[in-house]
């Protein structure tokens, strides 16, 4: 096992570029290598995004996940006790031949007014599934995003199951089968693009990001910040490290049959990062719905 130094260039989040639109060829990789490591956040965890529930639809139902004071939070930075950074994409670019590339369309669920998972890796030109698990209507809006500007991928309502009733959830009863009709959307990225974001047109705090790949040499960090990519053809490759708030690029050399360690420290951003943050003492607050209307029965959020 060997440890490598990094040759990195720090780029803006929307400045990533996709690989050229070539096809990928599956072949046997003899004596391939492995790239592994841990992504860590160095510094204080930034504050989450904050949304006043009173200003958006379905505040009582969606407030089942909230602070209990009328705020719904969205935290892009999921950090473990040892600083491990979850939900960071590691992607080796420009590999056109290599290991098998099986693909099962990933599913994104709208559940309790949250899109899960927060980060989805999709094969460029293939499908993604989206399904509503809530008794409220969601509208999914998917956009490519890059330094070249935004482009609409899809914008459709997400139907809910006709068997769900909000009062059941508010009374503590959760039906076993919550799924509405599964919508299948094709993700076909434009030239030099590989990022897309999906938001709900009704509930602004519902956000999910996608990263489109053209080969199977990728990983998504787990709750400890760990990742591993196996069966890599020997050679020198460019590695993208991406999260909606951070991006880096490294150059690594993979030797035959060896494991290469690439630890990735990421400096925590500072200052105000979002337009939406919690603001105490707002003029219009939870009292408009009654003091006990919004109850965080699923999760009480803190910031």
**For the residues 94-112, what does the mean pLDDT come to?**
96
Q: State pLDDT tens for residues 19-44.
A: 434 589 999 999 999 999 999 999 99
**Hey, what are 266's tokens?**
């990421």
Number of alpha carbons in the 13 Å side-chain half-sphere of residue 157: 5
Locate tokens 């590989």: which residue?
Answer: 194
Q: How far apart are CA 67 and CA 164, in angstroms?
A: 25
Q: State pLDDT tens for residues 162-198.
A: 999 999 998 888 888 899 999 998 888 887 788 899 9
**Does pTM surpass 0.85?**
yes
User: Is 274's pLDDT higher than 80?
Assistant: yes
Residue 38's pLDDT is what?
Answer: 98
Residue 281's pLDDT is what?
Answer: 65
So where are the chain's domains?
2-300
User: Is 99's pLDDT higher than 90?
Assistant: yes
**For the residues 79-98, what does the mean pLDDT come to?**
96
Residue predicted with more confidence, 144 or 64: 64
**Hey, what are 48's tokens?**
């989450």
């Amino acid at each position: 096992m060997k440890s490598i130094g990094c040759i990195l260039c720090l780029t803006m989040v929307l400045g990533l570029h996709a690989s050229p639109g070539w096809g990928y060829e599956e072949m046997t990789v003899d004596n391939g290598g492995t790239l592994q490591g841990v992504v860590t956040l160095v510094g204080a965890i930034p504050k989450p995004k904050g949304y006043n529930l009173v200003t958006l639809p379905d505040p009582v139902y969606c407030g089942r996940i909230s602070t209990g004071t009328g705020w719904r939070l969205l935290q892009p930075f999921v950090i473990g006790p040892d600083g491990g950074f979850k939900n960071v994409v590691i992607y080796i670019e420009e590999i056109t031949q290599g290991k098998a590339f099986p693909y099962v369309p990933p599913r994104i669920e709208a559940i309790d007014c949250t899109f899960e998972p927060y980060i989805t890796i999709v094969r460029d030109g293939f499908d993604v599934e989206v399904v509503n698990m809530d008794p409220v209507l969601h509208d999914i809006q998917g956009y490519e995003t890059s330094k070249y500007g935004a482009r609409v991928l899809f914008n459709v309502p997400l139907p809910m199951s006709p068997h769900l009733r909000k009062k059941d959830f508010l009374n503590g009863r959760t039906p076993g089968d919550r799924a509405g009709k599964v919508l299948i959307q094709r993700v076909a990225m434009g030239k030099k693009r590989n990022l897309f974001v999906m938001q709900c047109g009704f509930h602004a705090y519902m956000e999910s990001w996608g990263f489109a790949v053209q080969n199977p040499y990728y990983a998504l960090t787990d709750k400890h910040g760990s990742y591993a990519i196996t069966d890599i053809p020997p050679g020198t490759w460019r590695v993208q490290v991406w999260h909606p708030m951070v991006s880096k690029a490294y150059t690594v050399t993979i030797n035959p049959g060896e494991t290469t360690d690439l630890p990735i420290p990421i400096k925590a951003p500072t200052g105000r990062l979002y337009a939406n943050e919690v603001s105490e003492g707002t003029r219009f607050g939870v009292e408009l719905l009654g003091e006990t209307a919004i109850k965080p029965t699923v999760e009480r959020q803190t910031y």
